[in-house]
Chain A
Amino acid sequence: MKNFEYTIKDENGIHARPAGMLVKEASKFNSDIVLESGEKKADAKKIFAVMSMNVKCGDKLSVLIEGSDEAQAEKVLYEFFCNNL
């Protein structure tokens, strides 16, 4: 089990485009990847769930990763967040 925290810097939050990109990245891994923000939770491989979280700029997000390739997933997703959100 790996996890990291990230504060969203994109002024639009996780809107459609980055949500799509995130789902695409997350789907490359076997691990279960869950996003958490406050009370809200979403499977990072499901675009409706990710978009429905309605994550905004300044929101703090926890990314929980569990599975065979969790170390690699953590590294790639952290980079993805830094570059895109």
Chain B
Amino acid sequence: MEIYNGKSVYGGIAIGKIAVIGAKEEVIVPVSVANTAYEKERFKKALLKSKEQLTELYSTAVETVGKESAEIFEIHKMMLEDTDYIENVEKIIDEEKIMAEYAVSKTGQEFSERFLKMDSEYMRERSADVTDISQRVISNLKGKIPDGQKLCEKVIIVAEDLTPSETISLDRKNILAFVTAGGSTLSHTAILAGIMNIPAIVASNIPVDNSLDGSIAAVDAYSGKIYINPDNALLTPLRKRLDEDKKRYLELSKLRGMETKTKDGKKISLLANISSSKDVSYALENDAEGIGLFRSEFLYVGRTKPPSEEEQFEAYKEVAQKMQSKTVIIRTFDLGADKRADYLTFEDEENPALGVRGIRLSLENEEIFKTQLRAIYRASVYGNISIMYPMIISEEEVKRAKLISEQVRNELKEKNILFGNVEEGVMIETPAAALISDKLARMVDFFSIGTNDLTQYTLAVDRQNSRIGNLYDVMHLSVLNLIKMTCENAHKNSIWVGVCGEMGGDIDACKTLLSLGIDELSVSPTKILPLREIISKIEVFPKG
């Protein structure tokens, strides 16, 4: 039994098989062979196996991510059927009298270079597809399971870190737990785990290589421990805890349909943070009273051009409809810093967290911004949608954003396109915004405090840097003072103020926030019911 440690970002127990994703590939050394016919036969078999796998992946993906996204697997299959590709591999085997793995790897390189030379960025990125299919054939030649195939059964995912686009394509049903070597408590893996209710450990010392693939492991994401080949003495208490968790889950689900109220009767709105329209099901499952933060930027990442107005419209409409008349707050794309999209040119920035991000990027790319606003306004007739602008530091920015949204409304009116009554709010996530919240409150319909960034900027502590993780304190007096000020200024101007950071999960933080005057909390879907229970035990105005 081996034991590894990491940082727990979402508690829970998982026992099952490991699937290593994105392990560093060993270099393929050219090995000479005498029997080239045998190598060609091996190649043919691996090719056939790869195509079978892709057919299987395609049909699963059609169900989970839809036909359009699934088509990539069909294209991969066609690439493997391309006679130019096949003949090139066979030619290398024949001419160089070399093993099939090497011939496939070399062909993959040659073909991907063709794409890399092209002048279109989109085509250059297709080189990754060539690498992907070649890697799949090589895995099959070696009798190993290719990455993309590993998620066809229930597994514990072990990876270096998961990118936003990877996390979106994963199938929830088959993920028992996440264990990453990199990442931080605020990384995408952590966010996703919170939304999907998946035990997760990040920043662990687990080796991300294929040797662990298929091993049985127990993940204790309460203590941050991973046990490979666990013995029975260890499994017994873990299984017991797993049962308790299930019971607790049932207990909490009794709170579904109840109002969220403090012990002394103050009504609190308890909403969910989501990253895609798919997440709405998790929000509903956990009885969210609305969507307090729809991170629309996830529609923009991992692709080669911004999402079209139509695509966005469909996503926003779906969320609005599914939430019926409940509030849905869409944050306009908050890209920059750690979230990049290649089509929005980012020069290398010395300080990305202080660079072109959030509303700054939107105002620099007015057309893309307008497209998003049009999609939001058009979707607004299907439910109760609000818009929220991120990373505000000045009245000027709010003025400009509101002017653009007014232009969008006017254009829609001219075309006789209907839209609903959409409230506009801002995120208070910079000390600057908090300090001028008296002025901002007169310009908008609501405030939502982003405690993660507000803490990072107030304390000058990089929230991605694990070495100073102990300095990152959302309950620091300076942060609380800014929150207090924001609440007072909001209420003076009769607007509501919420919190949409990952703060407020524990009883003390929650109590503090509510006593400062917070009206709304928006958290990961899985935190809603536990928080409803916590809030019912809190007195906002203690007697005496």
Chain A residue with the shortest CB-CB distance to B75: A20
| Subset of 25 A-B contacts with CB under 8 Å | A13-B120, A15-B122, A15-B123, A16-B72, A16-B75, A16-B129, A17-B75, A19-B75, A20-B71, A23-B78, A24-B78, A46-B82, A47-B75, A47-B82, A48-B79, A48-B82, A48-B111, A48-B114, A49-B82, A49-B84, A51-B115, A51-B126, A52-B115, A54-B120, A56-B120
B74, A20: Cβ atoms closer than 8 Å: yes
Is A30 an interface residue when CB atoms closer than 8 A count as contact? no
Is B119 an interface residue when CB atoms closer than 8 A count as contact? yes
* Known interface pairs A12-B122, A15-B122, A46-B84; A52-B114 also in contact (CB < 8 Å): yes
B78, A47: Cβ atoms closer than 8 Å: yes
B274 to chain A, nearest CB (A): 27
CA distance in complex: A28, B84 (Å):
19
A12 to chain B, nearest CB (A): 6
| Binary contact track B119-163/A, C-beta < 8 Å → 1, others 0 | 110110010010000000000000000000000000000000000
- Output the residue of A16, A19, A24, A49 with the most chain B CB within 10 A: A16
* Known interface pairs A15-B123, A16-B129; A47-B118 also in contact (CB < 8 Å): no
Known pairs A12-B305, A20-B71, A20-B74; list 4 more (Cβ under 8 Å): A16-B75, A47-B79, A48-B111, A51-B123
Residues of A near B123 (CB, < 8 A) are 15, 51, 54
Residues of B near A52 (CB, < 8 A) are 114-115, 118
**Residues 3-24 (chain A) with a chain B CB within 8 angstroms:** 12-13, 15-17, 19-20, 23-24
Residues of chain A touching chain B, judged by Cβ–Cβ distance below 8 Å, are 12-13, 15-17, 19-20, 23-24, 46-49, 51-52, 54, 56
B84, A17: Cβ atoms closer than 8 Å: no
CA distance in complex: A16, B68 (Å):
12
Residues of B near A48 (CB, < 8 A) are 79, 82, 84-85, 111, 114
Residues of chain B touching chain A, judged by Cβ–Cβ distance below 8 Å, are 71-72, 74-75, 78-79, 81-85, 111, 114-115, 118-120, 122-123, 126, 129, 305
* Known interface pairs A16-B129, A17-B71, A48-B85; A54-B118 also in contact (CB < 8 Å): yes
CA distance in complex: A48, B84 (Å):
8
B111, A54: Cβ atoms closer than 8 Å: no
CA distance in complex: A54, B118 (Å):
7
CA distance in complex: A23, B79 (Å):
10
A54, B83: Cβ atoms closer than 8 Å: no
CA distance in complex: A74, B467 (Å):
65
B120, A16: Cβ atoms closer than 8 Å: no
A73 to chain B, nearest CB (A): 18
Residues of B near A51 (CB, < 8 A) are 115, 123, 126
B463 to chain A, nearest CB (A): 37
Residues of B near A15 (CB, < 8 A) are 122-123
A1 to chain B, nearest CB (A): 23
CA distance in complex: A24, B58 (Å):
15
CA distance in complex: A49, B79 (Å):
10
Residues of B near A54 (CB, < 8 A) are 118-120, 123
CA distance in complex: A24, B75 (Å):
10
CA distance in complex: A13, B81 (Å):
23
CA distance in complex: A46, B83 (Å):
7
A22 to chain B, nearest CB (A): 10
CA distance in complex: A15, B303 (Å):
13
4 smallest beta-carbon distances between A and B, as pairs:
A20-B75, A47-B78, A48-B82, A46-B82
A46 to chain B, nearest CB (A): 5
Residues of A near B71 (CB, < 8 A) are 17, 20
A16, B126: Cβ atoms closer than 8 Å: yes
B537 to chain A, nearest CB (A): 54
B327 to chain A, nearest CB (A): 36
Residues of B near A12 (CB, < 8 A) are 122, 305
A79 to chain B, nearest CB (A): 20
- Output the residue of A17, A23, A24, A51 with the most chain B CB within 10 A: A51
| B78, B83, B118, B122: the one within 8 Å of A20 (CB) | B78
CA distance in complex: A56, B120 (Å):
9
A11 to chain B, nearest CB (A): 9
Residues of A near B122 (CB, < 8 A) are 12, 15
Chain B residue with the shortest CB-CB distance to A49: B84
Residues of B near A46 (CB, < 8 A) are 82-84
CA distance in complex: A56, B123 (Å):
11
Residues of A near B126 (CB, < 8 A) are 16, 51
- Output the residue of A19, A23, A48, A52 with the most chain B CB within 10 A: A48
B14 to chain A, nearest CB (A): 36
Chain A residue with the shortest CB-CB distance to B123: A54
CA distance in complex: A12, B308 (Å):
13
Chain B residue with the shortest CB-CB distance to A19: B75
Residues of A near B115 (CB, < 8 A) are 51-52
B108 to chain A, nearest CB (A): 11
B182 to chain A, nearest CB (A): 30
Residues of A near B305 (CB, < 8 A) are 12
Chain B residue with the shortest CB-CB distance to A15: B122
Chain B residue with the shortest CB-CB distance to A23: B78
B194 to chain A, nearest CB (A): 33
Residues of A near B129 (CB, < 8 A) are 16
CA distance in complex: A17, B75 (Å):
7
Chain A residue with the shortest CB-CB distance to B119: A54
Chain B residue with the shortest CB-CB distance to A17: B71
